[in-house]
Chains A and B, each alone.
Chain A
Amino acid sequence: MKIVRRIIVSLGALALLLPAACFAQKPVTFEDIVHSAAAPDPGNWLTYGGNLAAQRFSELKQINTDNVKSLKVAWVYQLGGRGVIESVPLVNDGIMYVTAPPSTVVALDARTGKELWQFSPELPRDLVTIGLFPTNRGVALLGNNVYLNTIDAHLVCIDAKTGREKWSVEVADNKKGFADTGAPLAINGKIIVGVGGGEAGAHGFLSAYDASDGKLLWRLYTVPRSPEDPGANTWANGSWINGGGTTWNTGSYDPETNTIYWGTGNPAPDWNGTGRMGDNLFTCSLLAIDANTGKMKWYFQFTPHEVHDWDSSEPPILFDAKVDGKMRKLVALANRNAFYYVLDRTNGRFITGVPFAKQTWAKGLDKNGRPIKYPAKDIDPSPQGTLVYPSLTGGVNWTSPCYSPLTGLFYVNARDAGAWYIQGEPEMAPGNSVGVVGGGGGGGRFMVGDQDTTSIRALDAVTGKRVWQFPMTGDSWTGVLATAGNLVFSADAEGNFFALNATNGDPLWHLELGSALRSNPMTYAVDGRQYIADSSGNSLFVFDIPQD
């Protein structure tokens, strides 16, 4: 601590001597984001997924397999009674930006956890949140701005220095069930924003806004809005009208080809597909989108005619690797439907698809990656419940997997539970005037306790073959972080935050934080010192290795 203090003191003295501009926090450039969590300044974590490829991998290695056993709590920030933190903090130049439910942003000094400012948008008293918990998963940074998606479906631009609102635009009408919980994605001059609310009949779309003034640049609908729209013939009897295919998690971006990769949610109504026969494009799909025009370059549908609430909103991770001896540009996604997929990200062609968690709904995938489903009578929801693996919460849910270019492994927190799926009689309406989730389309009874288990699994990123696993007790909802220190961080359902050896899964360190962790771990560095951060309950914990 002495060293840190000394550095702070000397920096403070410098600030007195130099013009203010020299000491100001650096604005975040697009080039910075392209190199987030990597050289030349791996200490900054500037985007939700760590880097634009959503790898949740950091080049920091001060904390590594040799010294991680000495990891200690550096500071804790308690949010008070606002609820469980699901947010991934971003760090730029020593300042951390973390969010709290429902839509609050807090700026902290990343060395000390001391609060610098808070921003809470005014929210309507009659907020509609059907089928989602009013939380927030993080912000985007660009220039001197912090971008926030709000629970009432607005995009707000906040001054990174003062915490004051610069502008706010309505992304969609909250009265119709739209709500935002995910982090926006900042790319070159644009802020990419998804929407949630599929259980309220929200019609999914993805939008790009001008980062400077909030002007809408393009909007891509994920479900047809007229009989002429592409995919309309995959919804019997015009059933596209009920929507779905929301875009509630954060996607990834390839700057080389200027392509956005973003997953889409389930069709509406949920759990009862009898009124919407057909594949229901472009729900439960991965979309590749031209960032300039918003036009779809290709799509890949993981679960055609989905009836189990298995959104394909999981983060698409981009990496390059050899397939059959040839270097390929790939995108990988561990899907809620319990299959791990690898696609060619230049054209969407299927390369690999294998289960990474227990599943009982498909015999396998065909050569194009389309599932070969078991008969509907054995897997579709029924009034009294049909037992199917994975459960409604999926082989994995919104929490992020990660990829280490050093090990070539894809790490995912995998769930091996089933559920008894219940089919209801949905009554959909915009804004879901029926007032129940999925318009009453159904739901499920979960397996609980010893039957509901999760494991950190390391997969060969190209083949999906399991290399190791670390079984946990209970139903963990924590993402996974990989670092160049050859470490993987995650947590179990009982509040143990832990570090594993990235090569073989050996547990190297753990600490009980007192409440389950419902977010994705991240790492950053300030003044040459590496920190690891994750939230347990309503407290953000930051760890480092004491140096004196």
Chain B
Amino acid sequence: MSKLSWVGAAGILALAVAWGVVRTPSAHAQEGPGAEASQQTHAVAKTDPTENMTPAEIESGKLNFQGSCGECHGVDASGGVGPNLHGVVQAHGVQFVFNAIRYGIPGTAMAPVSSLNDKRAWQVVGYLKTLHAAPGSMTVNGDPATGKQLYEQNGCSMCHEIDGKGGAVGPALTGIGSMRSPDYLEQVLIDPAKNPPPDPAVPDRRMWTGYVLTKVVTKDGKTFIGSRVNEDTFTITLRDMAGNYHTFYKTNLQSIDKEIGKSFMPSFSHLSQTQRNDLVAYLMTLKGAQ
């Protein structure tokens, strides 16, 4: 029953589906415009159900978060396809987060989470509420002003865009401060290929690993290296460091190697801990257009 469903849903609602909140096939079905969830009158709790939650309930919320939300928001809630949620309850309140889980956020890829009923959704809210001071939280010790200088000195803008300025080899960083945790950003500075971000270019490919460094060798012996932009059964398109696109028919290639574990981005492990903190502090100030 579910199954039939999400196929279609996926097609029409490519975006919503691709983000796939809890991906019961059925869930997708309900992500559609006019799905019944969005027509419901949103229940408003009279009291805050996360007050006086037991540790067991918080733990249940954590498990359910990992299972139902982790695919997009990261199993530790530090962000993935969807934003970092550390501090989200403090910023927006429990009812907002509850409503986002149960009814989705219209106009965004946040669809109703069909595997969580009211009780469990509140437990997830209770768990998220505990994350404000946990590792990976939004607070970071560093000087954003120094970080901005380091960003410029290290040539980051050659590959990354902020507010419309900069290169397009790597992901745009305009809103990175609301999408990612400081821990994640520091990890990327040290080992950029370890946990590459999802594919940003084409909505249909949102759940694909992005920036996959790919080497192809043509049948006449030419080698091309680039970041994979698109791939289907018959073709593959790479984008080189200069931003040029190269599309190949697979029948003309003798090999395609996706170099998992490699990235165009160099490691910045040579920076001092203080410098990395400053850089991360600067990046965390980039909240994008609100």
List A residues at the B interface (Cβ < 8 Å): 83-84, 86, 101, 127-135, 137, 181-182, 196-200, 202, 246, 248-249, 265-266, 270-271, 309, 311, 313, 336, 382-385, 392-394, 397-399, 419-420, 422, 424-425, 427, 434-446, 448-450, 471-474, 477, 492-496, 498, 507, 510, 512, 515-516, 518, 537-538
Instruction: Given contact pairs A133-B6, A507-B234, enumerate 8 new A-B contacts (beta carbons under 8 Å).
Output: A134-B32, A181-B5, A393-B25, A397-B25, A425-B119, A435-B36, A435-B40, A440-B116
Task: Report whether A131 and B2 are in contact in the complex, using a CB–CB cutoff of 8 Å.
Answer: yes
**Alpha-carbon separation in the docked complex, A495 to B235 (Å):** 12
Task: Report whether B32 and A133 are in contact in the complex, using a CB–CB cutoff of 8 Å.
Answer: yes
Task: Report whether B12 and A270 are in contact in the complex, using a CB–CB cutoff of 8 Å.
Answer: no
Which of B22, B64, B71, B114 contacts A383 (CB under 8 A)? B64
**Alpha-carbon separation in the docked complex, A108 to B12 (Å):** 23
Q: Which of B198-246 contact A (CB under 8 A)?
A: 198-199, 204-205, 207-209, 212, 231-234
With a CB–CB cut-off of 8 A, which chain B residues contact A265?
Answer: 1
For B199, the closest partner residue in chain A by CB is A449
User: CB-defined interface of B1-18 with A at 8 Å, one 1/0 digit per residue?
Assistant: 111111111111000000
Which of B5, B26, B233 contacts A498 (CB under 8 A)? B233
With a CB–CB cut-off of 8 A, which chain B residues contact A394?
Answer: 3
Task: Report whether B115 and A392 are in contact in the complex, using a CB–CB cutoff of 8 Å.
Answer: no
Q: How far is the CB of A11 from chain B (nearest CB, A)?
A: 38
For B65, the closest partner residue in chain A by CB is A384
For B37, the closest partner residue in chain A by CB is A435
B30: interface (CB < 8 Å): yes
**Alpha-carbon separation in the docked complex, A129 to B60 (Å):** 28
Task: Report whether B37 and A422 are in contact in the complex, using a CB–CB cutoff of 8 Å.
Answer: no
With a CB–CB cut-off of 8 A, which chain B residues contact A515?
Answer: 11
Q: How many residues of B contact A (CB 8 A)?
A: 54
**Alpha-carbon separation in the docked complex, A200 to B1 (Å):** 9
Q: A131-B2, A496-B234 are in contact. Are A518 and B115 (CB under 8 A)?
A: no
Which of B71, B116, B204, B258 contacts A436 (CB under 8 A)? B116
Q: How far is the CB of B155 from chain A (nearest CB, A)?
A: 30
Q: How far is the CB of B58 from chain A (nearest CB, A)?
A: 13
- CB-defined A-B contacts under 8 Å, sample of 26: A83-B12, A83-B32, A84-B11, A129-B29, A134-B29, A196-B1, A199-B26, A202-B1, A271-B24, A383-B63, A384-B67, A393-B25, A394-B3, A397-B4, A399-B7, A419-B23, A436-B117, A440-B117, A442-B115, A445-B71, A446-B23, A449-B207, A474-B232, A474-B233, A510-B234, A515-B11
Q: A436-B115, A472-B233 are in contact. Are A448 and B20 (CB under 8 A)?
A: yes
With a CB–CB cut-off of 8 A, which chain A residues contact B95?
Answer: none
B157: interface (CB < 8 Å): no
